[in-house]
Amino acid sequence: MPIVTLGQVTDGGTRKRSAYDEIGDPVTLRRLLEATLLLESNLRLGDLLSHIVEEARSLANARYGALGVLDAAGTEVVEFYVSGLLPDVEAFLLAGPLPTGRGVLGVLIEEPRPIRIRAIGDHPSSVGFPPGHPPMASFLGAPIKVRGNVYGNIYLTDKIGADEFTADDGIVIEALALAAGIAVENARLNQRAGEVAVYEERDRMARDLHDGVIQRLFAIGLSLQGMTSAQAGRAVAESISSVVDDIDETIRQVRATIFELGAEGRGRGIRAGVLSLIEEMRPMIGFPVPVEFAGPVDSAVTDEVAEQLLSTLREALSNVARHAQATGADVRLQVSGRDCRLEVRDNGTGMVDNPAPGGGNGLGNMRSRAESLGGSFEVVQPAIGGTTLIWQVPIMPIASGDLPHYGRGPGT
């Protein structure tokens, strides 16, 4: 894979000045170069970005630091790394929803250029801090940008020993932001290359499934159907008919799997989004959360539904982590007919009373997301204990012409 370097050269070959050119302090420059050299190491991206935000906080003498990675559209924070918070405060804040880009943080997303503020609360875009957030005053932010592509932002607050950050602090943070941008860009380039290889392998698997499995199931089903017409007795005929039904259901499931294998090559899909979110939240939940998928979830779930579904799942898992006192939980996502149904179950203490329509602990948000899509939200408390959240919304049916062509057999 190509590796992005720090050299900035114009089309005419003349080297442009970078943030590094403005740094005169040899110690600072050495530390920046050491951070940059980590791009060639085998550190995972998360560890590298955590190191960069630590260095940014140290070099600018800031009490707190954070680094937010944006989604591909550059409009929403999808990863957030913090430095300087007490462990219990950090755990509490990261267990809740990530910053959405409102307030001062949103200024950097809307206008990706460095910004210094003497007092955050005095800025016209300031919206205050969420409950449990430590107070912060001075602010320094810089976009994580490479060749015009914005990948996120570095935020520093509370300059130690002074009322505000300096212009030199801004230059240093710009250089670190450049290193962070290179790291994110390289990671995404490598990820795309890996995905291409995976999609090619999935296409091969889909063909093998059709040629090696479905055709045999068809043959077995036809043989059994022929046996039911023989003089075999009513009980035997009914048993064989039940087996034929099971085979038909298996064929439908395999066809759905084939479609998913082919469809995932066209985009990331809700399946990957769900698995990624659960893996992200596993440290705060404290135990693995198994997931069951049923139906053509990747092909049927639209982007609009996927966005609300993932936000709902994040709220639900956050409730499990913070309130349920559970030792186990599981998730089921099913697409059946015109409906998409998400179930999140845990074996925790449950709720004393059935929550009101507005709900608490994020329940009102989950209900609102479902109703905004014409769906419903329900909290069920099974007799065996625990809680089950059921979030169901309608989706557009999949046209038969959208299915990949693998051939058709009897009974399909």
Q: What is the pLDDT of residues 138-149, one digit of tens each?
A: 999 999 988 788
Residue 1 scores a pLDDT above 60: no
CA 106 to chain centre: 20
Q: What is the pLDDT of residues 239-286, one digit of tens each?
A: 666 666 666 666 666 655 655 555 544 445 788 889 888 888 888 888
Among candidate residues 91, 42, 99, 93, the one with its CA nearest the CA of residue 70 = 99
The C-alpha angle 200, 202, 204, rounded to 5 degrees, equals: 75
Least trusted range by pLDDT, from 38-52, 187-201, 241-255: 241-255
Amino acid 12: pLDDT? 44
Amino acid 407: pLDDT? 29
Contact 51, 179 (CB under 8 A): no
Amino acid 242: pLDDT? 66
Order across the sheet with 291-294: list the strands. Answer: 291-294, 329-336, 339-346, 387-394, 376-380
Choose between 118 and 34: higher pLDDT.
Answer: 118
Amino acid 374: pLDDT? 92
Q: What is the pLDDT of residues 326-346, one digit of tens each?
A: 999 999 999 988 899 999 999
Q: What is the amino acid identity at position 53? A: V
Q: Work out the pLDDT band at 10, boundaries 50, 70, 90.
A: very low
Q: What is the pLDDT of residues 394-404, one digit of tens each?
A: 985 333 333 33
* Distance separating alpha carbons of residues 163 and 310, to the nearest angstrom: 40
Strands (E), 101-209: 115-117, 139-146, 149-159
Residue 122 scores a pLDDT above 60: yes
The mean predicted confidence, pLDDT, of the chain is 76
Place of tokens 């995932």: 264
**Pairing of β 339-346 and β 387-394:** antiparallel
Choose between 301 and 105: higher pLDDT.
Answer: 301
Averaged pLDDT, 115-119: 90
Choose between 50 and 257: higher pLDDT.
Answer: 50
Distances in whole angstroms, Cα of residue 201 to Cα of each of 105, 195, 198, 259, 261: 41, 10, 5, 14, 9
List b or e across 352-384, with b for residues whose CB sees 16 or more CB atoms inside 10 angstroms. eeeeeeebebbbbbbbebbeebebebebeeeee
Amino acid 159: pLDDT? 95
| Long-range residue pairs from 38-41, CB within 8 A, at least 24 positions apart, any chain | 39/3, 39/179, 39/182, 39/183, 39/186, 40/3
Q: Work out the pLDDT band at 198, boundaries 50, 70, 90.
A: low
Choose between 305 and 38: higher pLDDT.
Answer: 305
Q: Work out the pLDDT band at 361, boundaries 50, 70, 90.
A: low
